[in-house]
């Protein structure tokens, strides 16, 4: 039995605290007692691994899920999934979900009076290739109001969810768009203290993945936690 190598702790300020009071929903939901520190065990360094076959190839094109084309600006969102040691993470599931071009989610709870788009569901999945690349075709999501505070608006964003190789590497985050004027005022974007870490949530416009006369490309790389050096066999 190998001894279990831990995953590295984050650099200070690069991950949010559970409580961030400008994001009002965190106030009654963030734990109030200190978290209990535990060592890594086999339970945390293992985790669900999925066959790439569970994701249909067409699941990464959110513009082709209905009979017609969705309204809005078609975009290509692509990037790489790496760990902190710069190793590409192959064959990991990437899930995304988002609002439509008008800023409305196809969800019962979304009461924003912007129109639904019959040709846009707003969710997709991809699996990274051997070099950790993923690619989605979608439409640029709209900004939308929310009730966090007076005149509150969410910056345009796409939700990302990744498993990685272990329970410890699970990550859910959001991707933003360069130049969005709402970003400085978005309390969810601003929940992370470290400015550089925050700004890495903003995708980069990318000529290389832009398709002439078809769609603009945005690049968004995702980094999952890396491990301490593996201990020697007992």
Partner 1 sequence: MSLVTTTSQTVGPFFKIGFEWLNCDNLVGEGVSGERITIQGRIFDGDGIPVPDAILEIWQANAHGKYDHPEDTQNKPVEPGFKGYGRVPVTAAGMFRFTTIKPGPVPGPNGNEQAPHLVISVFMRGLLKRLVTRMYFPGDARNASDPILNLVEPARRSTLIAKRTAGAPGTLEWNILLQGPDETVFFDLGL
Q: Nearest Cα to 225, choosing from 79, 15, 42, 20?
A: 15
SS3 202: strand
Among 76, 200, 215, 217, indicate the residue that binds partner 1 (CB under 8 A): 200
Under a CB-based contact definition with an 8 Å cutoff, are residues 208 and 202 in contact?
A: no
Q: Nearest Cα to 62, choosing from 140, 174, 128, 114?
A: 140
Q: Would you name the residues annotated as active-site residues?
A: 105, 144, 154, 157, 159
**Residues 99-158 contacting partner 1, CB under 8 A:** 99, 105-107, 109-110, 121-123, 125
Between 17 and 211, name the residue whose CB sits nearer to partner 1. Answer: 17
Distance between CA atoms of 72 and 142, rounded to whole angstroms? Answer: 9
Q: How far is the CB of 128 from partner 1 (least distance, A)?
A: 14
> Looking up tokens 């800023």, which residue turns up?
103
**Residues 170-199 contacting partner 1, CB under 8 A:** 170-174, 188-189, 191-192, 194, 196-198
Which residues is 120 bridged to in the sheet? Answer: none
Region binding partner 1 by CB under 8 A among candidate stretches 68-76, 78-86, 132-140, 204-212? 78-86
Region binding partner 1 by CB under 8 A among candidate stretches 80-88, 133-141, 177-185, 210-218? 80-88
Which tokens is 226 given? 């890396």
Instruction: Tell me the three-class secondary structure of 97-152, residue by residue.
Output: EECCCCCCCCCCCCCCCCCCCCCCCCEEEEECCCCCEEEEEEECCCCEEECCCCCE
Q: How far is the CB of 212 from partner 1 (least distance, A)?
A: 30
Among 161, 182, 185, 219, indicate the residue that binds partner 1 (CB under 8 A): 161
Q: How far is the CB of 41 from partner 1 (least distance, A)?
A: 5
Interface with partner 1: number of residues (CB under 8 A): 86
Which tokens is 82 given? 């790496």
**168: contact with partner 1 by CB under 8 A:** yes
Q: How far is the CB of 6 from partner 1 (least distance, A)?
A: 8
**Residues 31-60 contacting partner 1, CB under 8 A:** 31-33, 35-49, 54
């Amino acid at each position: 039995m190998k001894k279990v190598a831990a995953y590295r702790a984050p650099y200070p300020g690069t991950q949010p605290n559970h409580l961030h009071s400008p994001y009002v929903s965190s106030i009654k939901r963030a734990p109030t007692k200190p978290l209990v520190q535990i060592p890594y065990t086999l339970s945390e360094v293992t985790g669900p691994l999925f066959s790439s076959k569970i994701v249909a190839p067409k699941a990464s094109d959110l513009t082709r899920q209905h009979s017609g084309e969705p309204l809005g600006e078609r975009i290509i969102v692509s990037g790489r999934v790496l760990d902190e040691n710069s190793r590409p993470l192959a064959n990991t599931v990437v899930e995304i979900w988002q609002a439509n071009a008008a800023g409305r989610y196809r969800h019962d709870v979304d009461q924003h009076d912007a129109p639904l788009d019959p040709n846009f569901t707003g969710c997709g999945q991809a699996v990274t290739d051997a070099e950790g690349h993923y690619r989605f075709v979608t439409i640029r999501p709209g900004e939308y109001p929310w009730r966090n505070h007076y005149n509150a608006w969410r910056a345009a964003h796409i939700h990302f969810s990744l498993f990685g190789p272990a329970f410890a590497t699970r990550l859910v985050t959001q991707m933003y768009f360069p130049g969005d004027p709402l970003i400085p005022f978005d309390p969810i974007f601003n929940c992370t203290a470290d400015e550089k870490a925050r700004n890495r949530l903003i995708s980069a416009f990318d000529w290389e993945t832009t398709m002439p006369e078809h769609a603009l490309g945005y690049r968004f790389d995702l980094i999952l936690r890396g491990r301490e050096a593996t201990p020697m066999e007992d």
